[in-house]
Amino acid sequence: MPLDARIFVAGHRGLVGSAIVRALERQGYRNVLTRTRAELDLRSEPDVDDFFSSERPEYVYLAAAKVGGIWANNTYPVDFIQENLEIELNVIRAAHEHGVKKLLFLGSSCIYPRLAPQPIKEEYLLTGPLEPTNQPYAIAKIAGIELVNSYRRQYGAHFISAMPTNLYGPGDNFDLETSHVLAALLRKTHEAKVNGSPTVQVWGTGNPRREFLHVDDLAEASLFLLDHYDDAVPINVGIGEDISIRELAELIKNVVGYQGDLVFDPRKPDGMPRKLLDVNRIRALGWSARIPLRTGIEQTYEWFVQNMA
């Protein structure tokens, strides 16, 4: 992308979108287009059309989405499938109709079957049942991938999809009802330390294994892919290593400096037993994650203390 290209980052206030904006600014891009939800409701087809017609973006990062953890997905399944479908349909269609040169759609690793072989290769998509706790969200993301590929096949559009693993970092959502596991554990452990609580409750058995990618690494990968990838196959973005939820909770306890005990609640859902992405495809292109998990958690905790706590 030329440095003066008109680049629309949809969802720039979210964890991923804000990191992409930071990465673009670091690399010298000076014409980044952003809109808050109050300024542009991506669920509204007329509003999205008006924006693309007036602003004429040349490149689009579709990072806008309704996201949440197990509790939120279980409680609001209609919201998760409907809002994500609306955003994807409106933005991807408008990008095509208004001549966008290239679009990157950001999905999620939850698109893969619940019991997919590990590590998960891109070709495992649609080869088995999904994880029930986030199936509506996953189906919406799969629909986004198919929409991207349909525009490629029917119109020759240069639209691509990337599937990041579990994300964390500065700007994360720390609401205990809607956050993902790492952010939730960070907040709960910090509050237990501050309040002198003897225990921290952790959902599930602690046995499931997850891979965690710092959002700044994903942002760098997103810029890299727009320049170096143009294929119908959705490409995985991760670090290629995982950790158990129990190990994650212990690591967070150590970073926070909490001296109490972790109590695991097996009555709560575990979600997928393991979710580790095969990242050989993106590594072969020349990109690898660079932020170690402990370093990233330390940075995230520092941000949380300064901005949220």
Does 227 carry a binding-site annotation? Answer: no
Number of residues written out for the chain: 309
Does 16 carry a binding-site annotation? Answer: yes
Return the closest-CA partner of residue 45 out of 95, 11, 87.
87
Does 108 carry a binding-site annotation? Answer: yes
Q: What are phi and psi of 74, to 5 degrees?
A: -70, -35
Does 169 carry a binding-site annotation? Answer: no
Does 182 carry a binding-site annotation? Answer: no
Does 109 carry a binding-site annotation? Answer: yes
Return the SS3 of 10: strand
Tokens of 27: 């690399």
Catalytic residue from among 59, 61, 112, 137:
137
- 214: enclosing H helix or E strand: strand 212-214
The answer to whether 92 touches 141, Cβ cutoff 8 Å, is no
The answer to whether 165 touches 212, Cβ cutoff 8 Å, is yes
Does 17 carry a binding-site annotation? Answer: yes
Does 26 carry a binding-site annotation? Answer: no
Does 270 carry a binding-site annotation? Answer: yes
Does 18 carry a binding-site annotation? Answer: no
137: annotated active-site residue: yes
The answer to whether 191 touches 67, Cβ cutoff 8 Å, is no
Q: Distance between CA atoms of 39 and 261, rounded to whole angstroms?
A: 45
The answer to whether 264 touches 205, Cβ cutoff 8 Å, is yes
Does 260 carry a binding-site annotation? Answer: no
291: DSSP letter: -
Does 141 carry a binding-site annotation? Answer: yes
Residues 6+ positions from 47 with CB-CB distance below 8 Å: 40, 41
- Going by the annotation, the residues of the binding site for substrate are 188, 203, 210, 270
Residues with a catalytic annotation lie at: 137
- Going by the annotation, the residues of the binding site are 11-17, 106-109, 141, 164-167, 180, 188, 203, 210, 270
